[in-house]
Amino acid sequence: MAERLPPEVQQQAIKYQQIQAQLNQLIAEKSVLEQELREVERALEVLKNVSDNTDIYKLAGHLLIRVTKENAEKELNERKELLELRIKTLNRQESLLRQQLSEIQTKLSQYMSSSYKKTL
């Protein structure tokens, strides 16, 4: 009959699954932010080729509101900075989560290895 895992090993396995879920959620969030950053960068590129007197509109809810090129660039640059900062933070969190996963995986591997040796 199969032997039951010790409680500390079960806890490590549960912790591993929880961290893996956090990592997956973080990666999905980062992907969304990276896509938004690409869109902001593209909008800034388009604005570079637009003359200063061209009418520019931004979406505000269900309305299009006229803004100056300067204000549009300012808002987009602020949003870009915010997105870059958030992505940088998520990258650090991702690194920490991956490190935690690696540590837990090592512990679990050590247990499985020692458990296997006991059965021989």
Domain 7-114 fold: Helix Hairpins (1.10.287)
Handedness of CA 80, 86, 91, 94 (dihedral sign): negative
Report, in angstroms and rounded to the nearest whole number, the Rg of the chain calculated over CA atoms: 25
Please tell me the pTM assigned to this model.
0.82
The 3-state DSSP class for residue 59 equals strand
pLDDT of residue 86: 98
Distance (Å, rounded) from C-alpha 91 to C-alpha 71? 30
Q: What is the pLDDT of residues 63-107, one digit of tens each?
A: 999 999 999 999 999 999 999 999 999 999 999 999 999 999 998
> Cβ distance 69 to 50 under 8 Å?
yes
Residue 1, pLDDT > 50, answer: no
Average pLDDT over residues 11-15: 93
